[in-house]
Chain A
Amino acid sequence: MTVTTDAALHERLMALAERRIAAGEVPGPAAADPVNLPMIRHWTDAMGDANPVYTDPEAAAASPHGGIVAPPAMIQVWTMPGVNRKAGQRPTPVDDVLAMLNDEGGYTGVVATNCEQTYHRYVRPGERLFPATRLTGLAGPKRTALGEGYFVTWNVTWYSGDEAVAEMLFRVLKFRPRKPEGPVGDGNAQDGAGREDTRDRTGENAQDGAGENGRDRTRGRAPYPLRPAINGDTAFFWEGVARGELRIQRCGSCGELRHPPGPMCPSCRSTDRGYVVASGEGEVFSYVVHHNPPVPGRRTPFVVAVVQLPEGVRIVGNVVDCAPSEVGIGMPLRVTYRQMDDELTLPLWAPREA
């Protein structure tokens, strides 16, 4: 629904958008590197995509492709300019429209609303791609749940030589953030709402990447897909892990240790709970080596063990820093902490001298 806004600004915005749309497609800088296997390998690793046609020359040769091809969904990767844009990079037709909304209109919020990619063909190692961007639409002002704003739509086409190999429709909402009406974003992960919130705002940096890389550019690595649910009964454990402590629930009444934790002591029914910090030592009680099928966020084979702690409880975790064939029941372990992404750390286990 249309709402009143600064009429003069609206006029200027629309006039600018009209000029940019009329100017059509503007080529951007060519990719820094040609399509290449190392980058494909990093990307498929991170995405948990084990399709050998992307990384295994022999399997790829035997496939209908006859050789390695890049995952189509990587298309944006090839021409992303990196965290710090190079000086003198050519502006795209989208930049000054977004800037006017941001600087003059106070539409400082941004959320990516659409990203539709079309792949015309697979690209292969050695091809050097370049993007070309055209502004295709500006609509607003609209009243949205986030606040009043404008939808900005553009299209990026990737070329290899003269041939268009893929294109993308990208749309963001630039909005004037509403004044908070209550506590928001308190980081309470109890019901996963905190994470959900973060995901919704992954378009936040889109304005500095207008053009071919307007998509999600959160500062850190891709979110690790295998996340624990956390609630008030278990948060103490994960808070401990974040600080490098392995916490075991201890009944505040009878003192019994328990893992996994829960809200009521099974021995004395007390709901009075505390914890102790474990020594960090343990040994393999049982273990598996996972080979198939592929697991998101994981590279196979990997080892998962039930670890017996000297404190008397067991805990499950990965055994790392050794070959799967070296793992055996009774193997002494020490806890180690791995940051899986910007938010999640997991307690894992490494071999220790007995």
Chain B
Amino acid sequence: MSSLSGRTAVAGIGATEFSKQSGRSELRLAAEAVLAALDDAGLTPADVDGMVTYTQDTNQEIAVAREAGIGDLSFFSRVHYGGGAACGTVLHAAMAVATGVAETVVCYRAFNERSGRRFGQPDARIGGEPSSQGLEMSWHVPYGLMTPAAWVAMFARRYMHVYGVTSEDFGRVAVAMRRHAATNPAAWFHRRPITLREHQESKWIVEPLHLLDCCQESDGAVALVVTSAERARHLRRSPAVIKAAAQGSGAGQMMMTSYYRDDMTGLPEMGVVGRRLWEQARLGPADVQTAILYDHFTPFVLTQLEELGFCGRGEARDYVADGGIEIDGRLPVNPHGGQLGEAYIHGMNGIAEAVRQIRGTSVNQVAGVHNVLVTAGTGVPTSGLILSAD
């Protein structure tokens, strides 16, 4: 058994409200979420000795520590590749705790992604520097291929072609997420479900993606507290044990444009994560009662179902049909509404929902949850978790 499995747990979760205009700084959002997570765990800032965030986060660990009144830090780390970092922050924290480098690590993500810098908007500078990433972008940006929607749409078109998948199949994912969000008061789209027809009639962003295939842009912050499973058992909440945590990158990997390998219909990096998770947890797809699958764009939810072994290649369109991924379906996916419905906090809000599902406290609680699979950003080097009840 992996030395990491079962040794650590998520002991606290915290978040700000999710909005389109927070009206306050990203640093303040981060500090608020961190304090909320500590309070949830029954801990204080003085208990924290480690912090992890995304390389894309604009709030340095030391700045958040200063604001929250956290003192000495013996561990701080950043995880790269956009939303692919989400579960990676928990992996880094868990490794630090399991090795004794730190005792209580806070993972956080905070941004004004709607009212501040919007990732969905083209930025002519991304191809401009001769760094390895700038050079990689330089094979795409000069042609105007420069938004996340466009990068994902390129995979989606090939996937549709090879497996006969349609835009309506993607739409079923959006409908399911919005149905879940409709009953989640924390969701931006609370009480605002959509129909498949509305999905089909929404404007083109980048064909074959409609507007309603794309997640929202949100302001907000989420933080998680990771500590040893042993210690978590004595804290305020029942622990969400980190049964498995993994990062993954595939051969020929690029940031979001891995168009030069294989058939473009899979997510090999998610395959790496999935194999590691199942092996580490000694579990399989049949053992999870709900899954949090990263849903910045609908097509990759289908691909993940295939890549993680919930169904065969090209079968996800049937898997999601007839409410298959809705609360009462064969595998409820993103009961909180995902990033399409709740908020786009770069995957961090999904981890918080997984913890609630383990605790049995979600507003859209799935019955009999023991194990939850969580994934991070798709199309990028990524990460995943299996959280379990103690």
Contacts and interface: CB of A to CB of B under 8 A. Distances in A.
Contacts of B121: 293
A149 to B, nearest CB: 31
Contacts of A41: none
Contacts of B128: 192, 227, 229
A288 B140 CA distance: 12
A287 interface: yes
B158 A259 contact: no
A293 B122 contact: yes
B142 interface: yes
Interface in B123-147: 124, 127-131, 134-147
Interface residues of B, number: 41
A318 interface: yes
A287 B139 CA distance: 15
Interface string B139-174: 111111111001001110110010000000000000
Interface in B229-284: 257, 259-260, 264
A329 B158 contact: yes
B127 A286 contact: no
A176 to B, nearest CB: 33
Nearest to A304: B145
Contact of A291 (B130, B135, B154, B205): B205
A287 B154 contact: yes
Contacts of B211: 292
Given A226-B124, A292-B206, A316-B143, A306 B135 contact: no
A72 interface: no
A297 to B, nearest CB: 8
A291 B203 contact: yes
Contacts of A66: none
A316 B206 contact: no
B142 A226 contact: yes
Interface in B87-108: none
B67 interface: no
Given A260-B136, A318-B143, A329-B161, A191 B207 contact: no
Nearest to B145: A304
A288 B146 CA distance: 12
A233 B135 CA distance: 9
Contact of A229 (B134, B143, B158, B257): B134
A228 B142 contact: yes
B145 A288 contact: yes
A58 to B, nearest CB: 18
Given A191-B130, A296-B122, A306-B264, A228 B203 contact: no
A230 B138 contact: yes
Contacts of A230: 130, 138
A314 B122 contact: no
Nearest to A313: B260
A348 B144 CA distance: 12
Given A233-B135, A295-B122, A286 B205 contact: no
A285 interface: yes
Interface in B193-236: 203-208, 211
A298 B155 CA distance: 22
Contacts of B154: 286-288, 304, 306
B264 A286 contact: yes
A39 interface: no
- From A231, A290, A306, name the one whose CB has the most chain B CB atoms within 10 angstroms: A290
B128 to A, nearest CB: 6
Given A190-B130, A231-B135, A286-B157, A314 B143 contact: no
A242 interface: no
Contact of A314 (B135, B144, B150, B260): B260
Interface of A: 190-192, 224-231, 233-234, 259-260, 285-298, 301-302, 304, 306, 313-318, 324, 329, 340, 344, 346, 348
Interface of B: 120-122, 124, 127-131, 134-147, 150, 153-155, 157-158, 161, 203-208, 211, 257, 259-260, 264
Given A286-B158, A293-B121, 8 more contacts: A226-B143, A227-B142, A260-B260, A285-B259, A286-B161, A290-B145, A296-B122, A314-B260
10 contacts: A226-B143, A226-B144, A285-B158, A290-B147, A304-B140, A306-B154, A306-B264, A318-B143, A340-B142, A346-B142
